[in-house]
Structure 1
């Protein structure tokens, strides 16, 4: 079967950023990265951290499933390397789980960084005990079939965002962002500036200044005037 046949594409290799860049990304949380992007990079808020004991950062292994089926999930885990994050487009289904405790156990053995699922999982207690970080939309008890096509390491949509193989996924208690590999340097530069500005404002608040110069200037531009009570 051709690896380029739509619905049956399984690509085993992705481009991964160097570890030094990954470590730089780990210096910033998702809020700073989202602000630094200048455009939307955050997945929708209904993708929740079901199992989240730490922040995760790593390149995306992408997986597109047939609705209600999880045949290729095991293959995606097999392809993934230590530090990767598997991002699954399961069409947001709340009828069938595409992930459970046995898959978490394999992912743990392979040191996979985390799992992002636009869909459902089950075996939550066991998955939590295993400890692989998981973000998903739903928790259900029903399993999925394992006999339908899917595609690995192609562009997908997850949480309303386009995700390409090798894009950098960052997840923490605030949510998940997707950093396009080509934009990482610019996003980091802007995130650093935002971090410095936030720290400056924090110090001003500690000293008793509760409205920043930026806010005061913006209000002035909009025509606000101070009035004596």
Structure 2
């Protein structure tokens, strides 16, 4: 439900089906990006804080004043299992907006992960905790906690529009975003490309060096 005390906090969007989320998790961001013809792929600065981290789930969006994280705190405790917290921060480079205690809170409520346009701190601790976090880097300076902000409104993160309820998927290559109404089609295209790549690998193993399409 919406927060009656704060008109800037909207209700959470419907979660994407677990079946689709699991199918996405068997793919890669590169395949999904290709399935969308390379649209809605976040810029290269947004990366996992630790190699091997993978994130997929339904977007819970947060917009904060650059260098402030009050509404990130509010969003953590509005979240549920299966949601990914995605933040617009105006590409702020003056302060970290996420750290160890926020990670512990996010794990306690069951968040699937966090995508931040800005910086984190307490890097060693949050790596050890294991919550998938994608961010622009690490920086020790802390934020203000004053607001204003909003939750579950359209935002921009990493140069990409993100709406509440979108599918958010990240791996070592970066982060992609897919609208729920497009997801089934995008996943089918990505799965088909994965199959074609498997067939090409088999051709190479069998000694066929030049693929047919090269000479068309």
Answer yes or no: same fold by TM over 0.5.
Answer: yes
Aligned to 2:185: 186
Equivalent residue for 1:42? 41
The structure number with the bigger radius of gyration is 1
Verify the 8 A CA contact 2:15 2:82 in the aligned structure 1.
no
How far did 1:90 drift?
Answer: 1.0
**Cα drift, residue 14 of structure 1:** 0.9
1:25 is matched with: 24
Please list the CA deviations of residues 69-125 of structure 1 after superposition, one character each: whole Å capped at 9, or x if unmatched: 111111110111112110011111121111010000111112211110001111101
1:227 matched residue in structure 2:
none
Change (3 A) 1:120 1:54: closer
Correspondence for 1:145: 144
Gaps of 5+ in 1: 218-229
Please name the residue that 2:83 is paired with.
Answer: 84
Partner of 2:215: 216
Match runs of 1:90-129 below 5 Å: 90-129=89-128
2:203 matched to which residue of 1?
204
Q: Deviations over 1:41-73 (max 9, x none)?
A: 211111111135432110011001111111111
Deviation at 1:38, TM superposition (A): 2.2
Cα distance in 2 between the residues matched to 1:214 and 1:152: 47
Q: CA deviation at 1:148?
A: 2.1
TM-score, structure 2 normalization: 0.93
Does the alignment pair 1:70 with 2:69?
Answer: yes
Output the TM-score relative to the length of structure 1: 0.88
Cα RMSD, aligned residues only = 1.8
Is residue 169–residue 177 contact of structure 1 (8 Å, CA) maintained in 2?
yes
Residues 125 and 8 (structure 1 numbering): CA distance in 2 closer, same or farther, change over 3 Å?
Answer: farther
Q: How far is 1:27 from its partner?
A: 2.1
Q: Is the Cα contact below 8 Å between 2:98 and 2:119 reproduced in 1?
A: yes
Task: Give the aligned partner of residue 132 of structure 1.
Answer: 131
How far apart, in 1, do the equivalents of 2:72 and 2:83 lie? Answer: 14
Which stretch shifts more, 202-211 or 111-120? 202-211
- Which residue matches 1:163? 162
Give distance in 1, aligned partners of 2:121 and 2:7: 26
SS at match of 2:32: helix
Unaligned stretches of 5+ in structure 2? none
Aligned residues: 214
The 2-side partners of 1:142 and 1:29 are apart by 33
Local SS of the residue matching 2:49? strand
- Structure 1 residue 30: Cα displacement: 1.0
